[in-house]
Structure 1
Amino acid sequence: MSNENMIVRSRLVIPINVNKFVQKANKRNADVIVLDLEDSIPYEEKEHARTLIPDAVQTISSLITPIYIRVNSEEDFLYKDIEKSVREGVSGIVVPKVESGHEIEKIDQWITELEKKANLAVGQFKISVLIETAKGFLDVADILKASKRIDTVSIGMEDLASDLGIILNQQTVASLNYFRLKLITVARAYHVIPLGLMGSLANYTDLDSYRKYAREAFELGFRGSSCIHPSQVEILNKSFKYNEEEINQARKIVNVFNNALAQGRASASYDGKMIDYPHYKKYQQIIDEYERVEKYERLKGNEGRC
């Protein structure tokens, strides 16, 4: 599956050392499950947390829902985390605080060695990039072109704001859209899926604001977001998807243009506006994306009933 066809609306991050969360992971309906070895794990527990990967993966194992491992960025932990993560049942890793393409190249090479050692298909294991520093943001283009394994990229906005010395409030939050727009632009240029939210991941109790931020992110060009609480999953699944009104309009416009083509014309009028090939392509893409999501939801539903 190409990156563009992946469905990553909701990526639920779960502390790997909280067994009750791991046990319930498959009931949350997230598009992706991320087992966390990083921020949610105390420093003194990190070595032990790594040993929990095999059992956690076996517990969550699904034919439909990919499992990723969020590894630690410090080299004392990073390569040991990766070594334990490259295994059957794990689709990839989330790498935080990436700052250069060279880092990704080294990680890619290490993964290749591990795939060969484990008799896994070389190149299938993915890397999801998390940008959390000014240096990483400046080098985001070099980072994304450093490996074909990279499937998604996102910004750790709280960490980035801290690194930049920005205090997050109503006055400063709009300025962060600069970083969001650039990330989307670079991601699209290198065929990587941009993930993000217009607000913060932290306040999981304000679901109305969360829903608003998620929908705005979708309209801006993001195609999903990480979340830290099960209550956020369905909001993301619905927000990062075209609604019935949008898909009905797209189908009407495509039909109008197809009728024009059948009459030997490459332009048409819809609702008082001209429709030509760029519009047709845009709305056909909307339909294709919608149908991929619908098919994916049916597959998840069928798996749940098995």
Structure 2
Amino acid sequence: MIPPFTPRWRSLLFAPADNAKLLAKLHERGADAVILDLEDAIPCAGKAAARAGIAAWIERLNGYNIPVVVRINAGWLDLYADLNAVVRPGLTALMLPQVKDDLQVRAVDAILDAMEQQRGLARRGIGLIALIESPATLPHLPVIAALPRIIGLALGSEDFSLALRAPPSRASLTLPCQMIALAAAGQGLMALGLPDTLANFQHLDIYGASIAQAQAMGMTGALCIHPAQVALVNQAFAASPEQRQWAERVVTAWTEAEAVGSAVCSVDGQMVDRPVVERARALLTQPRG
């Protein structure tokens, strides 16, 4: 088994794969990765044309050194047509919508494996982000997260809420976020999403509060449907100056304690042991807030 790469993207910004005006500026929006959407953003009548033009956009965006993800369609005929168009150099990952269970992901992995070999690409060099859009998928999360090509789990707030027959809100989406965060953390993957609608790009105070809650429950990033959301997401999932200062004090105190043979120390009136130190070291690897 070949282990996948493990990116740590905070913000992933969607754009329709056929909208040249939006795509031309996508790399300027500050997102850690971009998602070219062949699914919901493209009407059925326009999918063939979007596929025909997407290779050029993958190449162009990859030239700006920004990771390129493509959200493909879930129906098998459209899915195969999508893969045939996008499996090429410059593609970093695919977002697979409407994931139901591990069997579906394994099938896509097998198709990708064959295409990578046929096209001279690195085996499993293209990652998969599983988009969770149904309550029926939740029991399968640990198995899906353990599959070798998976690099992240993401919550599709709108479709999940539709399946639940409830409005997208903290009341309905907190538990799915927590389950995604736990399953992803168990495998060292990205957990992407927030306990709220993704469509809120005008009331950014409300959106920011939802992002803060997502970060507090262990999510590692979020999907963005508008450039105005990107900066808030990047800030929420970065280490603040105060957090970095605390982490530096912890690491310094721990180093001094180890030098005299101690396995514990204290910082700011609280005991520090190895798990606290590892959390501090992890904070210091995060982008600065």
After superposition, the C-alpha distances for 1:44-81 in whole angstroms (9 at most, x for unaligned) are 21122111211222332235311011000011201111
After superposition, the C-alpha distances for 1:21-52 in whole angstroms (9 at most, x for unaligned) are 01111111211011000111112211221112
Q: TM-score, normalised by structure 1?
A: 0.89
Aligned twin of 1:86 = 87
How is 1:2-81 mapped onto 2 (pairs within 5 angstroms)?
A: 6-62=7-63, 64-81=65-82
Q: State the distance in 2 between where 1:154 and 1:12 align.
A: 13
2:153 counterpart of 1:153: yes
Contact 2:5 2:127 in 1 (8 A): no
Q: State the distance in 2 between where 1:114 and 1:238 align.
A: 38
| Amino acid in structure 2 at the alignment position of 1:160 | F
Contact 2:173 2:196 in 1 (8 A): no
Contact 2:68 2:90 in 1 (8 A): yes
Q: State the distance in 2 between where 1:3 and 1:174 align.
A: 34
Q: TM-score, normalised by structure 2?
A: 0.94
2:160 counterpart of 1:163: no
2:180 counterpart of 1:183: yes
Q: 1:25 to 1:222 in 2, by over 3 A?
A: same
Describe the SS at the equivalent of 1:52: helix
Q: State the distance in 1 between where 2:31 and 2:254 align.
A: 36
Percent sequence identity over aligned pairs: 29
Q: 4+ residue runs of structure 1 moved beyond 3 angstroms?
A: 2-5
| Amino acid in structure 2 at the alignment position of 1:148 | P
| Amino acid in structure 1 at the alignment position of 2:134 | T
Aligned twin of 2:240 = 243
Describe the SS at the equivalent of 1:151: strand
Q: Number of aligned pairs? A: 287
Aligned twin of 1:262 = 259
Q: State the distance in 1 between where 2:107 and 2:189 align.
A: 19
After superposition, the C-alpha distances for 1:245-290 in whole angstroms (9 at most, x for unaligned) are 0110111011112111111111112222211122112212211x22
Q: State the distance in 2 between where 1:149 and 1:219 align.
A: 27
Aligned twin of 1:302 = none
Q: State the distance in 1 between where 2:228 and 2:154 align.
A: 21
Describe the SS at the equivalent of 2:25: helix
Describe the SS at the equivalent of 1:139: helix
Cα RMSD for the two superposed structures: 1.8
Shift of 1:3: 6.7
2:221 counterpart of 1:224: yes
After superposition, the C-alpha distances for 1:173-230 in whole angstroms (9 at most, x for unaligned) are 3242111111111111122211112322101111122222222222221111110111
Q: 1:88 to 1:5 in 2, by over 3 A?
A: closer
Q: State the distance in 2 between where 1:3 and 1:283 align.
A: 25
Contact 1:91 1:125 in 2 (8 A): yes
Structure 1 gaps, min length 5? 298-306
